[in-house]
Amino acid sequence: MKSDVIVVGAGLAGLSAARDLAAGGATVTVLEARDRVGGRVEQVELPDGRRVQLGGEVVGNAHTSYLGLVAELGLTLVPSYVAEPGEITRQVPESVDVGTWPSWFTDSDIASYESVEAALEKVVASIEPTDPFGHPDLHRLDQLSFGDFLREAGATAAVLRAFDLVHLSLSDGSIERQSTFAYARKQAVGGGTAAYDVAEWENQRVAEGSATVALTMAAGLSDVRLASPVSRIAIASTGCAVTTRAGEEIRADAVVLAVPCGPARDMEIIGVSDERLTSLRRQRHAWAAKFVAAYDRPFWRDNGQNALSESEGVIGSTWPQQEGVLSALVPPERYAAFVASDPDTRHREALEQLAGLYGDRALTPMQTWTRLWGTDPWTQGYVTNWRPGDVEGVGPLHGTHEPPFYVCGSDQWVAGYMEGAVRTGRAAARAVLKQAALTGEVS
Ligand SMILES: Cc1cc2nc3c(=O)[nH]c(=O)nc-3n(C[C@H](O)[C@H](O)[C@H](O)COP(=O)(O)OP(=O)(O)OC[C@H]3O[C@@H](n4cnc5c(N)ncnc54)[C@H](O)[C@@H]3O)c2cc1C
């Protein structure tokens, strides 16, 4: 059997690539390891019709590829949890407090926070996201952990603790294990000016459910094969061969690899340069889990809380994903403690932590779900973690193609997210079609 293009992985990236390839006249086969499409977007439906998201949910103003795709698919964008009334809650061992500033901040900590933000603003403004390697201070800023940057900028202990808490809540790696350059580049590409701003990055969601974006794309494709994990990719200009774990070999003129970096490392890939493969395999993920609890109503509002929280507990953050549904993330720094517990204990402790945040009403959800994304073999993570030295370690070949071998996926964009998946998926399709037009392979 032969296709023009094989796409490996049916997440948002692979499906976006396949959709555009098919629209461009290519015969496309999508091979997906799981028995469902969507990858890191996944949803379940409650009996009352609410669609509950177990993976990616929200997007921001700069996520133009994703927003454009949603419009093309005829789906609807609505305000996300950012519009939820009430105030943020912070949970640390010595207190649970509600309000804009952490309770442990003094006036001089607020001044320190503002001066650190000003220092960060300068770094963000100095970065051209598409040309990281042209930055005169790349090496120093990439080697420098974000924690050390904050210390150099004069952050007080209270300010460091507040930033650490934000990063536990984001679950993309502690401030001590993040490259300052990568962090600042993410803000630059996302339209931010200094520290991560949820109002900019997370203010919208798809009303029909974010996984509906993937399901809608898959419904328009004619050859998506589920339960077909790929174990080997052989690339040659005379024709490529992709082999599934079951031993089936499928041939094509080009291959688009659309899997996260962990599963990509598990594949045998031949016919691609060592440099390209080394760069691909050098990336790493932050491991996180998602815990979701559905209630009949948003009871947190009774106490003036908006269900957005940052915590030093096993759960690092919560937010309201929709009416009455709480999402929570377990950050990399707590993942081992969470996974090492038996499921009943894990469940009970997660609800107890929610009760510590929002009161005993949190102990009796209608239903809960736990997704251990970090140890899921087909994800092996959550989002890319750019540790100190990783921007230079992955190097300028990041996200690049070596025709007829193409890559896409949120790992292949500087900032991850569903935007990264759609943006790189569509770009990979354009690159394949351009190359095919040159060689006359696709009419
Ligand atoms: C809990 C959680 C919350 C998130 N929240 C947000 C959010 O709110 N906003 C946001 O923008 N982003 C969020 N993200 C990130 C976002 O969901 C991902 O970046 C994006 O969906 C990744 O898409 P992708 O296609 O690149 O990769 P994936 O979705 O991981 O798709 C890759 C596909 O490849 C398949 N695969 C793997 N190995 C093989 C193999 N050997 N053979 C064949 N197929 C294989 C996988 O099964 C999967 O379907 C979140 C992620 C998680 C896990």
> What pLDDT digit, counting tens, does each position of 57-77 carry?
999 999 999 999 999 999 999
Which residue has the CA at smallest separation from atom 27 of ligand 1? Answer: 11
Cβ of 263 less than 6 Å from ligand 1 = yes
Find the mean pLDDT for residues 10-17.
98
Question: How far, in Å, CA of 409 to CA of 422, rounded?
Answer: 8
User: pLDDT, tens digit, for every residue of 323-360?
Assistant: 999 999 999 999 999 999 999 999 999 999 999 999 99
| Helix (H) / strand (E) containing 28 | strand 28-31
Indicate if the alpha-carbon torsion angle 433, 437, 439, 443 is positive or negative: positive
pLDDT value of position 189: 87
Find the mean pLDDT for residues 402-427.
96
pLDDT value of position 190: 80
Dist. CA 417 → ligand 1 center (Å): 9
Contact between residue 151 and residue 119 where contact means Cβ atoms under 8 Å apart: no
Which residue has the CA at smallest separation from atom 51 of ligand 1? Answer: 56
Question: How far, in Å, CA of 296 to CA of 47, rounded?
Answer: 12
On the question of pLDDT at 295 being above 90, the answer is yes
Ligand 1 pocket mutation, candidates 212, 245, 259, criterion most atoms within 8 A of CB:
259
Ligand 1 atom closest to the CA of 36, numbered from 1: 49
Find the mean pLDDT for residues 247-251.
97
Dist. CA 260 → ligand 1 center (Å): 7
pLDDT value of position 443: 42
Give 222's contacts (C-beta < 8 A, 6+ positions apart).
22
State the average pLDDT for the chain: 95
Cβ of 373 less than 6 Å from ligand 1 = yes
With pLDDT > 90 as the criterion, what percentage of the chain qualifies?
88
Cβ of 316 less than 6 Å from ligand 1 = no
Question: How far, in Å, CA of 398 to CA of 391, rounded?
Answer: 9
Cβ of 124 less than 6 Å from ligand 1 = no
Cβ of 60 less than 6 Å from ligand 1 = no
Which residue has the CA at smallest separation from atom 37 of ligand 1? Answer: 378
Which residue has the CA at smallest separation from atom 6 of ligand 1? Answer: 56
pLDDT value of position 441: 60
Which residue has the CA at smallest separation from atom 15 of ligand 1? Answer: 417
Ligand 1 pocket mutation, candidates 42, 63, 287, 418, criterion most atoms within 8 A of CB:
418
Cβ of 383 less than 6 Å from ligand 1 = yes
Cβ of 39 less than 6 Å from ligand 1 = yes
User: pLDDT, tens digit, for every residue of 189-212?
Assistant: 887 777 777 888 899 999 999 999
Cβ of 218 less than 6 Å from ligand 1 = no
Ligand 1 pocket mutation, candidates 20, 40, 326, criterion most atoms within 8 A of CB:
40
Cβ of 40 less than 6 Å from ligand 1 = yes
Cβ of 416 less than 6 Å from ligand 1 = yes
Cβ of 409 less than 6 Å from ligand 1 = yes
Whether the pTM exceeds 0.95: the reply is yes
Smallest CA-to-CA distance from 386 within 181, 188, 126, 161 is with 181
Find the mean pLDDT for residues 271-294.
97
Which residue has the CA at smallest separation from atom 35 of ligand 1? Answer: 9
Ligand 1 pocket mutation, candidates 230, 410, 413, criterion most atoms within 8 A of CB:
410
Question: How far, in Å, CA of 17 to CA of 78, rounded?
Answer: 25
Cβ of 8 less than 6 Å from ligand 1 = yes
Ligand 1 atom closest to the CA of 412, numbered from 1: 26
User: pLDDT, tens digit, for every residue of 73-127?
Assistant: 999 999 999 888 889 999 999 999 998 889 889 999 999 999 999 999 999 999 9
On the question of pLDDT at 442 being above 70, the answer is no
Q: Six-digit token pair at 193? A: 């000016």
* CA distances (Å), origin 77, targets 66, 207, 339: 11, 6, 34
Q: In the 8-state DSSP scheme, what is residue 34?
A: S
Smallest CA-to-CA distance from 255 within 284, 234, 225, 275 is with 234
Dist. CA 218 → ligand 1 center (Å): 15
Ligand 1 atom closest to the CA of 289, numbered from 1: 1
* HSE-CB of 406 using CA atoms within 13 angstroms: 30
Ligand 1 atom closest to the CA of 244, numbered from 1: 42
Give 412's contacts (C-beta < 8 A, 6+ positions apart).
13, 398, 399, 420, 424
